[in-house]
Amino acid sequence: MSADAALLASARAWIAQDPDEETRAELQGLIDAASAGDPDALAALHDRFDERLAFGTAGLRGEIAAGPNRMNRVLVSQAAAGLAAYLLETAEPGSTPSVVIGYDGRKNSAVFARDTAELMAGAGVRAILLPRLLPTPLVAFAVRHLDVSAGVMVTASHNPPNDNGYKVYLGGANNGSQIVSPVDGAIADHILRVAAEADVLALPRAAFETAEEGVVDAYVAATAAVASAAPESGRAELSVVYTAMHGVGWETTRSVLAAAGFALPHPVDAQIEPDPAFPTVAFPNPEEPGAMDLAVETAAALGAELIIANDPDADRLAVAIPSATDASGYRRLSGNELGALLGWRAARLAAEAPGDGGPTGTLACSIVSSPALQAVAAHYGLDFANTLTGFKWVSRAPGLIFGFEEALGYLVNPETVRDKDGISAAIALLDLATQLKGAGSSLAAHLEEFTATFGAYASSQISVRVTDLSRISEVMQALRADPPVEIGGIRVKQIDDLADGFGALPPSDVLRIWLQDGSRVMVRPSGTEPKLKVYIDASSTDGSVVEREAAAAAAVAALETGMRALVNA
């Protein structure tokens, strides 16, 4: 059999076990066109069948379409059966493993979640489906609250509209954190075995449980408790605008705000309800240019003092504050800026906590996030941990009291949720902002106070989106083969290649470049999108606040120019 004939046979076999009418019809159209000699259709089939979406520490994520290299009901069924096999294999003798399953408002999220619940139950795993579409942090919370073996969240977070994904958490000693190696590999092996041996239509299915509303109520109460001040003490009311970015954050956020005693914000009406088409944004990620334009317009019309935004599954938080120098009237804080402020808040709360011997605990951030948090930890005598990128690592830092990464992810209540949580982070921020206003200050003034106390920390990022993934490996190989001796006129001091691990860090495809002036550049492939990412950080503790900020910004600008030339961005 020729390679093309074998490809067409594989595609027909896929259709035979696909329960989804839409993806069956789509794939049949490609088969018909390829059989008639259409080279584009044949190329599309190769793209879908020559490779498979890999199950890793980020679970699964990809475009919804037919074939093993896409997200669809066949792939999700194989993943569910494989995860069930892993849970049964690793369960204590005589015990029944259990899983809680959640889903957001994206296309096919609900059906992927129901397939997972039915297949888990059919395999002998106790399966509990959350009562409706809910934010991702609810699953991380429910794993611990219900004391189950694992959690599954069906979401593609802030990816393009036609993507979906499958995120896995572990209970027990893992405290509801996302999976890490070698667990991901063990689950992947089971998934591949199912794919090779089983027709998903023949896999047993059974009835599952639906979680009581009390799970949501418990999350709301625990998250409201993040606010450190009682409503009647030290808070001044703020005019706030909120957007859910067409995601699932509003219902739960509204409940938490009310429980914490905060006035409800003004919603961006066009973006407040879940909509899998994401009609008002080109890319549903608050980091992307233009994504917060409607929120800014709403805030400007109301004269609002603060904008808060969740991404579609509400595990990230974006913030904008009034700015006289920005044409729109508002400036979005970077993830590093917000992480520094929330980390400072956590350190101050630890210092104010009763007890002998001073504050204890760990502040943690990923290696691509700003060094500012390490300065805060040192100032307060707290431990600091630098982890690989992803909250699967940040959440596991021993003694954690706060963790963040620059991609708008914040973990402010590790005793409740061991993952980034855009809702609890919003409560922590509002707690800080309302207390600052009550004291006659503001978030903008607080940023200046941070610079005066710890120094100026400037950051920049370059994202190179590719259509051919080999381009990313080519750039990484080129940097390793011919490492730069200077970047933007600043001499390179040292390059750490994390490919084989570095110190306590596990192996990762990351280059960390240290410059003679203390600046740092990180280069790595994105773990969830077809991008090469470059992170640039510089700092200054010399002179006034203005002088510190100018020096750090100048170093970052020079490094950005140099790195763009190196990666052809």
For 130, phi then psi, to 5°, come to: -60, 155
- Domain with residue 461: its CATH number is 3.30.310.50
In this structure, the answer to whether residues 444 and 460 fall within a common structural domain is no
For 387, phi then psi, to 5°, come to: -120, 170
- Whether 157 is catalytic is yes
**Distance between CA atoms of 489 and 382, rounded to whole angstroms?**
36
In this structure, the answer to whether residues 404 and 292 fall within a common structural domain is yes
Beta bridge partners of 129: 101, 210
Q: Residue 313: pLDDT above 70? A: yes
In this structure, the answer to whether residues 272 and 207 fall within a common structural domain is no
CA 457 from centre of chain:
23
List Cβ neighbours of 367 (8 Å cut-off, separation of 6 or more). Answer: 386, 387, 388, 389, 498, 505, 510, 512, 522
Whether omega before 276 lies within 30 degrees of 0, making that bond cis, reads no
In this structure, the answer to whether residues 219 and 186 fall within a common structural domain is no
In this structure, the answer to whether residues 20 and 106 fall within a common structural domain is no
N-to-C CA span, the chain: 44
In this structure, the answer to whether residues 300 and 445 fall within a common structural domain is yes
pLDDT averaged over the chain?
Answer: 95
Q: Which residue has the tokens 């059974």?
A: 206
Here the contacts of 351-354 (C-beta below 8 Å, separation 24 or greater) are 351/380
Per-residue model confidence (pLDDT) at position 1:
63
Min mean pLDDT across 45-54, 373-382, 519-528, 547-556 is at: 519-528
Per-residue model confidence (pLDDT) at position 503:
85
- Domain with residue 239: its CATH number is 3.40.120.10
| Burial annotation 479-494 (CB, 10 A radius, 16+ → b, else e) | beeeebeebbebeeee
Mean pLDDT, residues 271-288 taken together: 94
For 59, phi then psi, to 5°, come to: 75, -130
For the segment 361-416, what is each residue's pLDDT rounded down to a tens digit? 999 999 999 999 999 999 999 999 999 989 999 999 999 999 999 999 999 999 99
In this structure, the answer to whether residues 381 and 527 fall within a common structural domain is no
Check if the beta carbon of residue 101 is closer than 8 Å to that of residue 127: yes
In this structure, the answer to whether residues 428 and 467 fall within a common structural domain is no
For the segment 10-35, what is each residue's pLDDT rounded down to a tens digit? 999 999 999 999 999 999 999 999 99
Establish how many alpha carbons lie within 13 A of residue 493's alpha carbon, considering only the half-sphere containing its beta carbon: 9
In this structure, the answer to whether residues 107 and 207 fall within a common structural domain is yes
Per-residue model confidence (pLDDT) at position 357:
78
Residue after which a domain boundary falls, among 185, 212, 239: 212
What's the one-letter identity of residue 540? Answer: S
Compute how many other C-beta atoms are within 10 angstroms of the C-beta atom of residue 442.
17
In this structure, the answer to whether residues 424 and 526 fall within a common structural domain is no
- Select which of 77, 109, 149, 157 is catalytic: 157
Residue after which a domain boundary falls, among 168, 192, 212: 212
Domain that holds residue 25: 1-50
For the segment 130-139, what is each residue's pLDDT rounded down to a tens digit? 999 999 999 9
In this structure, the answer to whether residues 351 and 224 fall within a common structural domain is yes
**Distance between CA atoms of 288 and 278, rounded to whole angstroms?**
14
Q: Residue 513: pLDDT above 80? A: yes
